[in-house]
Amino acid sequence: PDEYISQRGTDILDACRRVVDILDGRARTPLKLEVPSILAGECIYPSDIITAGRGMVLGLASAAGSIQSHAAIIARTMGIPAVVHLGDQFLREGELRPSILDADNGRLIMDPGKVQIQEAQRRIVSAAMHKKRLSMLSDKPCVTLDGTSIGLWANCSTPEDIQLAV
């Protein structure tokens, strides 16, 4: 089966969990993070990301899943790095251990050394500078190579994004 379609099963499971909770009269407790964190688990659901609150999810790491899962798509849209399909070993070994989430290379580095931390910090600074350079293009016209003008008004993934766009 097509990977994109097969990943929709996770979305359906997430929605079913929410419907069952409503029908049973159970209030769904939103994910409350006390400090910004990397969400890690067997499977990260889209609702986990949304209910955690903007700015609280630093990254996603899942044992299962795919880059085409809805959670991974939401994470990309929100600028949250994600590494998926890590296997079960990281679940057994990784709880509350300092880690570097290297989404560019699909790795989760547990208990990183000094050199790995410095390299990660360098890459973070470099990515921030690149993002700043890209933001300077946001008010430029959107034109194809053949000169066709395209209206680009907003790219929204959350109600907050819609408010900013309006």
pLDDT tens figures, 53-72: 888 999 999 998 888 888 88
Give the pLDDT score at 48: 87
How many structural domains compose the chain? Answer: 1
As a whole number, mean pLDDT of residues 73-89 equals 89
Domain with 70 in it? 3-165
Give the pLDDT score at 94: 64
129: confidence class by pLDDT, cuts 50, 70, 90 = very high
Please tell me the pTM assigned to this model: 0.71
17: confidence class by pLDDT, cuts 50, 70, 90 = confident
Mean pLDDT, the chain, whole residue set = 85
Distance from C-alpha of 15 to C-alpha of 19, rounded to nearest angstrom: 6
Burial of 62 (0-12, 13-18, 19+ CB in 10 A): buried
CATH number at residue 126: 3.50.30.10
Tally helices (H) and strands (E) across the chain: 6, 5
- DSSP bridge partners of 57: 37
